[in-house]
Structures are given as structure tokens and as C-alpha cells.
Amino acid sequence: MKIPFYARYRSPQDEESLLSCLKGTLATDGPCSKEADRRLAHLYPDSFSFLTSSCSAALETALELCSLKPGDEVILPSYNFPSAANAVLRAGGVPVFCDIDPDTQNISPSDAALKITSRTKVIIPVHYAGVACHMDELSCLAQEAGLTIVEDAAQAIGASCNGYPLGTLGEFGCVSFHYTKNISCGEGGLLLCRSKKTYETARCHRVHGTNRDAFFRGECDRYTWVLPGSSTAASELCAALLLAQLPCLEQITRIRRKRLHDYLLALKPLEQAGYARLMTIPDYAWPNGHIFYLRFADKSLRRHIEELLLKNEIEAKTHYVPLHLSPMGRKLGWCPEDLPESTACYDTLLRLPIHTELTGSHVERIAEIITKGCVS
Ligand SMILES: Cc1ncc(COP(=O)(O)O)c(C=O)c1O
């Protein structure tokens, strides 16, 4: 029986919520968007937030609001999706890639410290796999060097650091509701702002840089262009789907966390025998089971296991091409040897299926195949 890598969570309310939304006008900021914003505000009580069309759009807004000057530098991990790097380039900054910690694949605070210069203005920690970065250390670094923290919490809904939801520990946080995420509306995101003033500016940015909110509050007789902006509001239909998914978040997170711990238990002997390194969950991190991965001892073992799983109809996937290795990274002047841990991770990391349809016995079967494949 085939075990897929992804299985989108289907809420019993998905269809009803979409059908009811279709009865409305689909106008931007309609009842579904307002209700989704209200419910998300409960999840993130210490932040000011709104839905966006994607996490990438939220990152672009956040970087725009950092007011970078040409040549200003932004530190971010190379082992990453291109969204944050694109946002830096669009805002006129220079992306400075940083290496990762091999335990978590998150930004290495010590390498980040080495990369800080007088031009550094922003740092973008990515909470890989929904496991928190070392935010205490990064916050100290940021404070000492006067940097703004923009958290890329794309994978992190339902996860926290020392009890604080990921996305709320920096000046900005950006979450994704892409179809691959724990809860999803196809394409969607969330921008979290620490300050109300920045949030208000960000809200203008999302509606073409206009004062549309003020107009709807009756503060002006028509709305107009007040700052550089874009069109990044979520559609009513996406908000409707999210409304159906949000009540299931706790249940989804519970199941995914259980599978994560099942994998850790079943694959522990492989780590002890030196075939692979398991993902580490630091004490400060409460993960959401978004991704489960292993790092094999070398590239050929990773390839062998990937093929073996596929032969057994189990979909496993590698992950990012580190940005410094990508054609765009090369154009920006980076070489493979600049960030050795990110390059090694590219070669050795393999993600295993994890979703709400995966059972404990699936995990046992997968672990058994991997174990046999390593020892044979
Ligand atoms: C770390 C990270 N950041 C940003 C994104 C982009 O999210 P979105 O597709 O919602 O723009 C992703 C997508 O998977 C991601 O993994």
C-alpha cells in the first residue's frame, strides 16, 4: 500500500464553509477574512496580525517595512526556500547567507554573529520543520547589533519557543497556509507585527498602499495612495477554507507530534549505530510535527534509502537546494564551500511522510525498511 508524502488535512467543514462564502460578494476583507483574522488573533494574542495571499507576500511586506537602504545587509540561512531572499532583494537589500546548526538545520547563531557587519540591518531566522530556532541567542545578537528580527515561521503554525508562538518573537513573523502546511487554504499566509503602528502601515501596504481601512472606518470620504504598496490581501475563498481548518489545528498538531515521536523512537537505534542523525528537538522548542527528517551518514546512503523506500511505494523527499548553491546564489557571488553544513545537509537530508493520515504502524513499516536498508 502506497504511503504518500503529503496528505492535505480535510476538515469536515471545508465544503460547507466554501459554499457559504460563495453566497457573498467575495469582496476583499469580507466576513470570512474578518472572522479568520479574529480567530488568528486569539492564537497570537501578543501580536497584531492579518491574513495575506502567501507567506512570501508577508515576508515581502515585512522587508519593505524594514526601510533598507541600498547596500544594507540581511542575514538569513542558505538552507532555505527562496522567498525570504527574494523579499530582501525586492526591498533593495543584500542577502548574506549563513550556515546552519546540524542538530536542527536552523540558522547557526555563531555563524550569524560572524556575518554581522556595520551594514547589517535585519536577521531572518527560519524555524525549519516547525522546530524553533535558538531565539534567546538570536535576540541577544540582534539587540547588541541593533538588528530587526523577521521570523520566517512558514512551517511553524502551532509550534512555540519557551511557550511563545513562533512568529511572535521578532518585530515581524510570517506564516504559510500553502497546501503543504499543517493547515492550509491552498495558498495563504499571515503577517504578525509586534507594534500596532507597524501593523497599520503594513495594512496600507497590502491594499495597494492606500488608506482603505481609514475610509471604511469613515475617517475620509474616499481612499487614496499614501505609501508604496502592493496587493497582498487573502481572498475571501481562502479565508473561508482557513475558517474550516482552524478549529482542527490542535488535533492536527497532536497527531503530527505523535508521529514525530514515533519516528524518533523507532529510528533511535539507527542513530546509535551511526547510520543517520535524527532531528533534534531542543528543550526550548515545542514542535508541530510539520516535517520529520533524518540526515544520513553520507549521500550514497541517503540515495540508497530514498530508492528503497520508493520501491516499497513510500514517498520520501530531499529538501532545499541551499540558496548559496543555486544558480541565483552563484550569480550573487557565493561558492559551494562557503557554507559547508548547508551543502552537507543538501546531500544527506531525507524527509519522511508525516501527516494526519499516517498511522503508528505506517511509521513502524517505514522504520523497518530504512533499518534493513542501512544494515544490509
Ligand atoms: C521556509 C519557507 N519560507 C517561505 C515559504 C513560502 O511560503 P508560501 O508558499 O506561503 O509563500 C516556504 C514554503 O514552503 C518555506 O518553506
Is 136 in the same domain as 177? yes
Pick the residue whose CA is nearest to atom 9 on ligand 1.
178
Is 295 in the same domain as 163? no
Q: Is residue 9 part of a domain?
A: no
Cell of 134: 535558538
| pLDDT tens-place string over residues 195-239 | 999 999 999 999 999 999 999 999 999 999 999 999 999 999 999
Phi, psi at 123, each rounded to 5°: -130, 140
List CB contacts of 81: < 8 A, sequence separation 6 or more.
Answer: 126, 154, 320
Please state the atom number of ligand 1 nearest to the C-alpha of residue 80. 1
Residue 316: the pLDDT is 98
Is 259 in the same domain as 214? no
Q: Is residue 98 part of a domain?
A: yes
> How many structural domains does the chain have?
2
Q: How many residues does the chain have?
A: 376
Domain end among 229, 247, 265: 247
For a pocket test of ligand 1, which of 8, 61, 106, 178 has the largest count of ligand atoms closer than 8 A to its C-beta? 178
Domain containing residue 335: CATH number: 3.90.1150.10
Pick the closest to residue 105 from 83, 136, 127, 74 (CA basis): 127
In the sheet that holds 120-123, the strands lie side by side as 48-52, 189-193, 172-176, 148-152, 120-123, 73-77, 94-98
Please state the atom number of ligand 1 nearest to the C-alpha of residue 127. 1
Q: Is residue 311 part of a domain?
A: yes
Q: Is residue 2 part of a domain?
A: no
Is 171 in the same domain as 268? no
Domain containing residue 42: CATH number: 3.40.640.10
Distance between CA atoms of residues 231 and 224, nearest Å: 14
Cell of 106: 536552523
Is 170 in the same domain as 236? yes
| Cβ atoms < 10 Å from Cβ of 198 | 18
Is 184 in the same domain as 253? no
Query: Structural domain of residue 321, as residue ranges?
Result: 249-375
Q: Is residue 6 part of a domain?
A: no
Question: In the chain, where do the E strands start and end?
Answer: 48-52, 73-77, 94-98, 120-123, 148-152, 160-161, 164-165, 172-176, 189-193, 276-278, 285-286, 292-296, 349-352
From ligand 1's centre to the CA of 22, what distance in Å? Answer: 28
Q: The pTM is what? A: 0.97
Domain end among 206, 232, 247: 247
Q: Residues with beta carbon inside 6 Å of ligand 1?
A: 54-56, 80-81, 83, 126, 152, 154-155, 176, 178, 189
Distance between CA atoms of residues 196 and 102, nearest Å: 37
Is 195 in the same domain as 282? no
Q: Is residue 1 part of a domain?
A: no
Q: Is residue 3 part of a domain?
A: no
From ligand 1's centre to the CA of 180, what distance in Å? Answer: 9
Domain end among 225, 247, 269: 247
Is 195 in the same domain as 308? no
Is 147 in the same domain as 293? no
Is 83 in the same domain as 203? yes
Q: Is residue 238 part of a domain?
A: yes
Is 61 in the same domain as 202? yes
Pick the closest to residue 187 from 66, 316, 83 (CA basis): 83
Is 260 in the same domain as 227? no
Residue by residue, pLDDT tens for the chain (376 residues) are: 899 999 999 999 999 999 999 999 999 999 999 999 999 999 999 999 999 999 999 999 999 999 999 999 999 999 999 999 999 999 999 999 999 999 999 999 999 999 999 999 999 999 999 999 999 999 999 999 999 999 999 999 999 999 999 999 999 999 999 999 999 999 999 999 999 999 999 999 999 999 999 999 999 999 999 999 999 999 999 999 999 999 999 999 999 999 999 999 999 999 999 999 999 999 999 999 999 999 999 999 999 999 999 999 999 999 999 999 999 999 999 999 999 999 999 999 999 999 999 999 999 999 999 999 999 8
From ligand 1's centre to the CA of 157, what distance in Å? Answer: 12
